[in-house]
Amino acid sequence: MARSILVPHDGSEHAQKALQYALESFPDARIVLFHAIDPFEVTPNAEEGRPPLTEEWLERQRAEVADLFEAARAEIDADEATLETDTAFGSAAQCIVAYVGENDLDGIVMGHRGRGGPADLRLGSVAELVVRRADVPVTVVR
């Protein structure tokens, strides 16, 4: 039975290492490269304030995610792998856990930290929430 593994990716080095780990550890698996577009994670320009959440803004975010996925694929050797991509709109941890449940995936492989702060010995907040809430095995890659 082929496995299906979700790999959340935010463009960080840690996420890229998780993707490489998933491809090496589950060579016959269907890998879903995933990104949550979080409207509350927007860094506002001090002069302009928070940008309005319009369809145009969402389309720009989706284009940036497509570029992120393309860059992630360019750094790996995934010729033999079944690598799919998908996005969701909302909080990263909540989207990851919900996506796995709604799409009957077998596991999650994710980086221990993302773009959210300096790397240290602790898990990042998204990884910690996913480990606590997911109903499938979660592998956290350092």
Residue 95, classed as helix, strand or coil, is helix
Q: How far apart are CA 1 and CA 26, in angstroms?
A: 12
Q: Is the pLDDT of residue 129 over 60?
A: yes
Domain ranges of the chain: 4-141
CATH of domain 4-141: 3.40.50.620
Q: Which residues of 91-122 are buried (b: 16+ CB within 10 A; e: fewer)?
A: bbbbbbbebbeeeebbbbbbbbbbeeeeeeee
Mean pLDDT of all residues in the chain? 86
CA 54 to chain CA centroid, Å, is: 23
Please compute the mean of the pLDDT values over residues 111-136 and round it to a whole number. 75
pTM: 0.86
Percent of the chain with pLDDT over 70: 79
pLDDT per position as a tens digit, 51-84: 678 889 889 999 999 999 999 999 887 666 679 9
